[in-house]
Structure 1
Amino acid sequence: MTRHPRTVAVLVYDGARLMDIAAPLEVFGTAAGLGGRYATLVCSVDGGPVVTSTGTRLAADVSVGELLERPAAPGTLVVPGSDDLPLRPPPDGLTGAVAALAPGAARIASVCTGAFALAAAGLLDGRRATTHWRHAAALARRHPRVAVEPDAIFVADGRTYTSAGVTAGIDLALALVEADEGAGLAREVARDLVVFLRRPGGQSQFSVAARTPAPRHDVLRDLVREIAADPAADHCLTALARRGGISGRHLTRLFNEQVGTTPAGYVESVRVEAARALLEAGETVTGAARRSGLGSDESLRRAFLRHLGVTPSTYRARFRTSGVPAPAPLPAPLPAP
Structure 2
Amino acid sequence: MSTVRNIIFVIFEQFELLDLSGPSSVFHMANKLAGKAVYTIRTVSCSGGLIDSRSGIAVSANALQDIQLSSTDTLLIVGGDPAAINTACKNPTLKHWLQSNSKHADRLGSICSGALILAAAGLLEGKKATTHWSDLSALKREYPKIHVEQDALYTVDGNIWTSAGVTTGIDMALAMVGRDLGNATMRDVAKWLVLYVHRPGYQSQYSQLTDAQAKLDTALAEVVLWLDEHMHLPIKVSDMADRCAMSERSFHRKFVESLGTTPAKFLTTRRLYHAKHLIESGLALKTVISRVGYQSELGFRMAFEALYGISPATYKRMHCARSN
Q: Under a length normalisation based on structure 1, what TM-score does the superposition of the two structures give?
A: 0.66
Structure 1 counterpart SS, 2:214: coil
Supply the distance in 2 between the matched residues of 1:166 and 1:216 (Cα, whole angstroms): 27
Query: Amino acid of the residue matched to residue 271 of structure 1?
Result: R
Query: Amino acid of the residue matched to residue 49 of structure 1?
Result: L
Supply the distance in 2 between the matched residues of 1:5 and 1:178 (Cα, whole angstroms): 15
- Look up the match of 2:255: 255
- Look up the match of 2:50: 49
Contact 2:4/2:72 (8 A) holds in 1: no
Please state if 1:173 is matched with 2:173: yes
- Look up the match of 1:298: 298
Structure 1: gaps of 5 or more residues: 141-146, 324-337
Q: How does 1:121-160 map to 2 (within 5 A)?
A: 124=123, 128=127, 130=129, 132-139=136-143, 148-151=146-149, 153=152, 156-160=156-160
- Look up the match of 1:109: 109
Supply the distance in 1 between the matched residues of 2:308 and 2:218 (Cα, whole angstroms): 31
Supply the distance in 1 between the matched residues of 2:236 and 2:220 (Cα, whole angstroms): 14
Contact 1:113/1:135 (8 A) holds in 2: no
Supply the distance in 2 between the matched residues of 1:208 and 1:234 (Cα, whole angstroms): 21
Q: Under a length normalisation based on structure 2, what TM-score does the superposition of the two structures give?
A: 0.68
Q: CA offset at residue 95 of structure 1?
A: 4.3
Query: Amino acid of the residue matched to residue 246 of structure 1?
Result: A
- Look up the match of 2:200: 197
What per-residue deviation string (whole Å, max 9, x for no partner) do you get for residues 110-141 of structure 1? 2355345446777x38863535441344346x
What per-residue deviation string (whole Å, max 9, x for no partner) do you get for residues 55-105 of structure 1? 3133435524798599x9964221124435456754475346657874764
Structure 2 counterpart SS, 1:283: coil
Q: Between Structure 1 and Structure 2, which shows a larger proportion of helix residues?
A: 2
Return closer, same or farther for 1:162/1:104 CA change in 2, 3 Å cut-off: same
Return closer, same or farther for 1:320/1:90 CA change in 2, 3 Å cut-off: farther
Structure 2 counterpart SS, 1:9: strand
Structure 2: gaps of 5 or more residues: 131-135
Identify which range, 219-228 or 266-275, moves more after superposition.
Answer: 219-228
Return closer, same or farther for 1:321/1:207 CA change in 2, 3 Å cut-off: farther
Supply the distance in 2 between the matched residues of 1:81 and 1:116 (Cα, whole angstroms): 9
Query: Amino acid of the residue matched to residue 282 of structure 2?
Result: G
What is the RMSD of the two structures over their aligned residues, measured on CA atoms? 4.7
Q: CA offset at residue 163 of structure 1?
A: 4.6
- Look up the match of 1:144: none
Q: CA offset at residue 312 of structure 1?
A: 0.7
Q: CA offset at residue 317 of structure 1?
A: 3.1
Supply the distance in 2 between the matched residues of 1:156 and 1:309 (Cα, whole angstroms): 20
Identify which range, 299-308 or 18-27, moves more after superposition.
Answer: 18-27
Supply the distance in 2 between the matched residues of 1:252 and 1:4 (Cα, whole angstroms): 61
Return closer, same or farther for 1:182/1:227 CA change in 2, 3 Å cut-off: farther
Identity of aligned residues (%): 25
Supply the distance in 1 between the matched residues of 2:301 and 2:40 (Cα, whole angstroms): 43
Supply the distance in 2 between the matched residues of 1:24 and 1:114 (Cα, whole angstroms): 14
Contact 2:43/2:61 (8 A) holds in 1: yes
Return closer, same or farther for 1:129/1:252 CA change in 2, 3 Å cut-off: closer
Contact 2:76/2:110 (8 A) holds in 1: yes
Supply the distance in 2 between the matched residues of 1:275 and 1:34 (Cα, whole angstroms): 35
Return closer, same or farther for 1:252/1:148 CA change in 2, 3 Å cut-off: closer
- Look up the match of 1:272: 272
Q: CA offset at residue 109 of structure 1?
A: 1.4
Query: Amino acid of the residue matched to residue 292 of structure 1?
Result: V
What per-residue deviation string (whole Å, max 9, x for no partner) do you get for residues 123-178 of structure 1? x38863535441344346xxxxxx52234655545434345665664564344234
What per-residue deviation string (whole Å, max 9, x for no partner) do you get for residues 253-294 of structure 1? 543443444544433321210111122333332232233343
- Look up the match of 1:331: none
Supply the distance in 2 between the matched residues of 1:15 and 1:138 (Cα, whole angstroms): 23
